[in-house]
Structure 1
Amino acid sequence: MKKKVVILAEFIGENHNSTAYYWSQITKYLNGDYEIVLIVPENEHSLAFASKYNIKTRFVKIAVHNKNNLLSRLLGQVKQTMSFLSVIKEEVYSADLLFSGTNPIVTMASLAVLKLRYKYQWLVLVHDVFPNNLIPAQVLSENSFFYKVLIYLSKKMYSSPDSLICIGRDMKTLLQEKTGSCEKIYYIPNWASTEKIPSLEKADNEIINDLGWQNQIVYQFFGNMGRLQGMDNLLKAIQLSKHKQARYLFIGCGSEADYVKKTLEKINNESGYEKIFFYGPLDLEKNHIGLSACDVSLVTLSGNMFGLGVPSKAYFSMAADKPILYVGDNNSELSILLSEYQVGWACEAAKPTLLAEQLDNVTDTLQMSDTPLMQPRKCLIDNFSETLALTKIKRVVNTMMVS
């Protein structure tokens, strides 16, 4: 008789977002060996996924909210959590394992409280560390009383799961400090599928051809333009950069998108030519086209993000065979990765002048005919493949089943 694993996911679906993609692959991989019960909000992506793979699913009503408004987001998380808990209580008593993420954070906090009563085995995949992420987002002050209270409560919350899987070595260090233990924390990095993301030549890219940038060195920012992505630092650096052969492409959306559009217009006017182009959101089925529309992928974070997150776009860019220019804290996961593998460059966060120099230097380097060939896609296949990551996750689940 197969053991029962309840998977609780905020998003699921192979063509929704990166979080949904990761949970989709995990669910499919575990489905053969375990009795899977999936708990997810009902939408077109979750309905299609459950139907396509014939996975037993408990759908809950989705709590619609404005994620860019803090109050709306909090109320939405509370509503979503109430929907989740009504179903979890029915399933968890007969489950051998509950497998969930850190979002919504209100749900994770509620599961920690619920565990006091139901005593279930709990595995958490950590993508964010709360409330530490509120500091770089400038939501709270590190010295505020409320923040100190949240830090105290978060230590209890992150200590509640029986095991944690984190996606960065810097994140593991932070979680060890928070929980006081390293034995139950597993480091398993993010991954990307080379089947879903092919390697395409920049010269054949429709976006590049429409812009007429075939002979320029193109830097691309792809994905969420949010509070924690260090957009201000990146734009200031682009403004300060001097190389006339460099072009900058922004694909995506987010809370900072309007600021990006307004600022790039100013930079273009000052430059006297179209130095930057704002493409905006891209249809999901065309993500691979967006990822290949560059020579270098820009992966940026705000300062003080050590241990708080690892941008999945870095791995998707590697799958597209694009080198990375990472902007973030020293000794963070991507900084370590770039020191181990020759697949790009790193620059410290919140230093626009330094980044501007780096952009100009990389542009010079890429124009040289004898530049050593980087192989990001091969690096991903060898070290960050989907199969490697899923095998490690399954091993953690198996270990918990026999413990």
Structure 2
Amino acid sequence: MKKPKILVVIEYIGENGNSTAYYWSQIIKKLNINYHVVLISPENKESLKFSKLYNVDSRLVKVGEHNKNSLISRLLGQIKQTKAFIYEIKKEVNNCQLVFTGTNPIVTMVFLSFFKKIKKFKWLVLVHDIFPNNLVPAGFIKKGSLLYKILNYFSFLLYSSPDRLISIGRDMTLLLEEKIKKGNVVFIPNWASTDKNKPENKNKNEIILNLGWEDYIVFQFFGNMGRLQGLPNLMKAIKSVNNEKARFLFIGSGSEASYIKTIIKEINIECNYEKAFFYGYLDLNKNNMGLNACDVSFVSLAEKMYGLGVPSKAYFSMAVGKPLLYIGDENSELDILLSEYDIGWKCKPGYSDKLALLIDNITDEYICSSMNKNPRKLLIDNFSEDIILGRIEDVVISTI
């Protein structure tokens, strides 16, 4: 019997890429069991490897490099990429049962919203961020400006075009429903693999041993160091932490990496000991080692990020059994999660003094007693890969 055909159009793919690429890789592997998946994505080492390894019918397009930290360069790069996508989409869309995409690149989503009026195909979108709202905390545009109002009206038309939207946060769901005024949004949270991400003894961790931090309480920032992570607030708080048993480790890369290195140098000179350390980029095959190199995992977002994103690092940290210290807006997805379950602590962004005091108290709590928080069990019971992928497939079935 011929399998229903699903056209998946995405910017990132590959199990050794970023978290978005990883998530899409697992979704495609799941769908490829019962459906004929046709993947349209940029051609690179990871996409070629993934397509070959899992026998995915792929249309990989050649696209040029662009600077993701420059709005103009990123826009031009997305336009070129979308042109390449369009050529392949037009060839495949007539005989497919569903087009499944993300929200990036936004230019591709714009094209599909117009193209859908002509071809009338079924369209499912996995939402990782919301345009133009995501431009506000990034500092590209001011909320309430004329340009924002124009783009916001345009985005109403854009997000109303798909047949279904999958939201990764309850705050994001509310924001989308406010924007499009129709009930086609389904909330399905992020997840993490408990097979690939496993707890390890911190005091046997290579990074911790090299630093000589076995007897300290280590707080770690892991992953993307971008402008939306609220890093100035976090660094200001670390400067004010008084407990000399607290240590701070930064693993990852991004546009704010140079800033972090500069502030860490200032912090260490000021306190006259190695209070913080910048490890930098970690090979992807060592992610489990990196995630386990701490007692507490920082998950930080800038102010005004309500509804605009749910950091995947929270779920990967939960998978290795690390409690979370979340810095983010009230009633955001992780704020709600930490209110529901005893898996960590939280603090509003912009309150560096309160955050510093909280870190001091958490350090004392660790020293005085063993932690009884169990984030890994919570993840296994509620956010495991099998559970969430099953829910995504259910939405695919109902949309077709």
Task: Bin the TM-score by the shorter chain.
Answer: over 0.9
Residues 291-318 of structure 1 deviation map (CA, whole Å, 9 limit, x = unaligned)? 0000000000001111000000000000
- Counterpart in the other structure of 2:346: 346
- Counterpart in the other structure of 2:336: 336
Moved more, 50-59 or 109-118: 109-118
Find the residue that maps to 1:278 and give its secondary structure.
strand
Find the residue that maps to 1:259 and give its secondary structure.
helix
Output the amino acid matched with 2:322: K
- Counterpart in the other structure of 1:151: 152
Mapped to 1, the partners of 2:68 and 2:57 lie a distance apart of 29
Q: Which 5+ residue runs of structure 2 have no aligned equivalent?
A: none
Output the amino acid matched with 2:51: A
Pairing 1:307-326 to 2, within 5 Å after superposition: 307-326=307-326
Q: CA deviation at 1:110?
A: 1.4
Find the residue that maps to 1:297 and give its secondary structure.
strand
- Counterpart in the other structure of 1:47: 48
Mapped to 1, the partners of 2:81 and 2:291 lie a distance apart of 32
Pairing 1:32-181 to 2, within 5 Å after superposition: 32-181=33-182
Mapped to 1, the partners of 2:361 and 2:107 lie a distance apart of 45
Residues 275-334 of structure 1 deviation map (CA, whole Å, 9 limit, x = unaligned)? 100000000000111000000000000011110000000000001110000000001000
Mapped to 2, the partners of 1:252 and 1:281 lie a distance apart of 4
- Counterpart in the other structure of 2:383: 384
Pairing 1:249-398 to 2, within 5 Å after superposition: 249-369=249-369, 371-398=370-397
Find the residue that maps to 1:81 and give its secondary structure.
helix
Aligned 8 A contact 1:126 1:166 in 2: yes
Residues 157-210 of structure 1 deviation map (CA, whole Å, 9 limit, x = unaligned)? 00100000010000000000011022x111000000011112111011000000
Q: Alpha carbon RMSD of aligned pairs, Å?
A: 0.8
Q: Which 5+ residue runs of structure 1 have no aligned equivalent?
A: none
- Counterpart in the other structure of 2:213: 213
Residues 220-259 of structure 1 deviation map (CA, whole Å, 9 limit, x = unaligned)? 0000010100000000000111111000000001011111
Output the amino acid matched with 1:59: L
1:248 aligns with 2:257: no
Mapped to 2, the partners of 1:352 and 1:84 lie a distance apart of 44
- Counterpart in the other structure of 2:29: 28
- Identical-pair percentage: 57
Aligned residues: 399
Find the residue that maps to 2:248 and give its secondary structure.
strand
Find the residue that maps to 1:308 and give its secondary structure.
coil
Mapped to 2, the partners of 1:116 and 1:350 lie a distance apart of 44
Mapped to 2, the partners of 1:6 and 1:55 lie a distance apart of 11
The ranges of structure 1 where at least 4 consecutive aligned residues each deviate by more than 2 angstroms after the TM superposition are: none
Mapped to 2, the partners of 1:172 and 1:200 lie a distance apart of 35
Normalised by the length of structure 1, the TM-score is: 0.98
Q: CA deviation at 1:372?
A: 4.3
Mapped to 1, the partners of 2:358 and 2:63 lie a distance apart of 44
Aligned 8 A contact 1:43 1:62 in 2: no
- Counterpart in the other structure of 1:13: 14
Q: CA deviation at 1:63?
A: 3.0
Residues 38-92 of structure 1 deviation map (CA, whole Å, 9 limit, x = unaligned)? 1111001000100011110001113311111221111111111111111111111
Aligned 8 A contact 1:63 1:77 in 2: no
